[in-house]
Amino acid sequence: MDLDYRKVAGFFKSIAHPIRLAVVHKLLEGKKCVTDIKELTDVGQSNLSQHLTILKAAGAVDWQQAGKTRCYYLVDPILIKIILEKFADK
């Protein structure tokens, strides 16, 4: 199996930030628009936008346009769920 180590490292780096981790955790519930995500986090619009851009560049999330609003979703929710379950309290 050939791996692009930089791509894999970039993915894990993208979800390694507490705010981005909280975002992907909330996106496990399903697609959410930016305004919904903003309510779930304690960051400003521009800061949240930067975090979402990093997650999208790493391939963790993607978005769809809904009118004037972007709604984000996990590209591979099963992978995120497996990763987060590893660290969940049991």
Which of the 8 DSSP states describes residue 90? Answer: -
Q: What is the pTM of this model?
A: 0.91
Q: Domain 5-86 belongs to what architecture? A: Orthogonal Bundle (1.10)
Dihedral angle, C-alpha 19, 23, 26, 30, nearest 10 °: 180
Tell me the pLDDT tens digit for each residue of 43-84.
999 999 999 999 999 999 999 998 898 999 999 999 999 999
Q: Is the pLDDT of residue 90 over 80?
A: no
> Hey, what are 19's tokens?
């705010």
Q: Provide the angle, in degrees to the nearest 10, between the axes of the packed helices 45-57 and 5-15.
A: 150
Find out whether 12 and 48 touch, Cβ atoms under 8 Å: no
- Residues with Cβ within 8 Å of 57's Cβ and at least 6 positions away in sequence, in order, are 10, 14
